[in-house]
Structure 1
């Protein structure tokens, strides 16, 4: 699934153009790699790290949404991690 569509579907951005801006500004990382394009693929298990509303958000993708549904449905698609937890999860995934 495209990164901008994922961000919009799970309600991390109010519009698709806002999601494209988040993806293209170069401050979002997927599994530690900087991303500068909105069409970067997102898969289950990816760790997304980005700044939003003055704080760093770290999310693990749990499911890929089929639509932009209600907030409860969107929250089931990702798990919020603490910023320090992302390094531990990435290291554990690399060992597997």
Structure 2
């Protein structure tokens, strides 16, 4: 090929941009109806996308919003894949689920547990 195509299959672009490890995983996500192209739900992996289209899809625990900057002609290294899109994902603050999660271990120490027990109201004792 002499240059990048103007339109490319959605599953292939998601794979080229390294959002998914395999093209099959990308196709399953699209076929499941979990991807939106320009705010429209799509369920066909063969949907053609090009530069300027906005994609919204789940990845892990977050919802990714990306704008396609280029189609690309191969699945290259990560620095090359990062040039294919503009990330517009809003920043989400991660709230720890357990007390003491900000520490390396993630669990409260015995000292923390004792101080927590002492700080609680004992009721009618």
TM-score (norm 2): 0.65
- Which consecutive aligned stretches of 4+ in structure 1 deviate over 2 angstroms post-superposition? none
1:79 partnered with 2:86: yes
One of 29, 32, 37 as aligned partner of 1:22: 29
Greater per-residue helix proportion = 1
Report which of the two structures shows the higher radius of gyration computed on alpha carbons: 2
Residue 65 (structure 2) aligns with: 58
- 1:42 & 1:50 partners in 2: Cα distance? 14
- Alpha-carbon shift at residue 22 of structure 1 (Å): 1.5
**Larger RCO (alpha carbons 8 Å, 6+ apart):** 1
For structure 1, the residue ranges without an aligned partner over 5 or more in a row are: 84-96
- Alpha-carbon shift at residue 35 of structure 1 (Å): 0.6
Q: Provide the aligned C-alpha RMSD in A.
A: 1.3
For structure 2, the residue ranges without an aligned partner over 5 or more in a row are: 1-7, 91-125
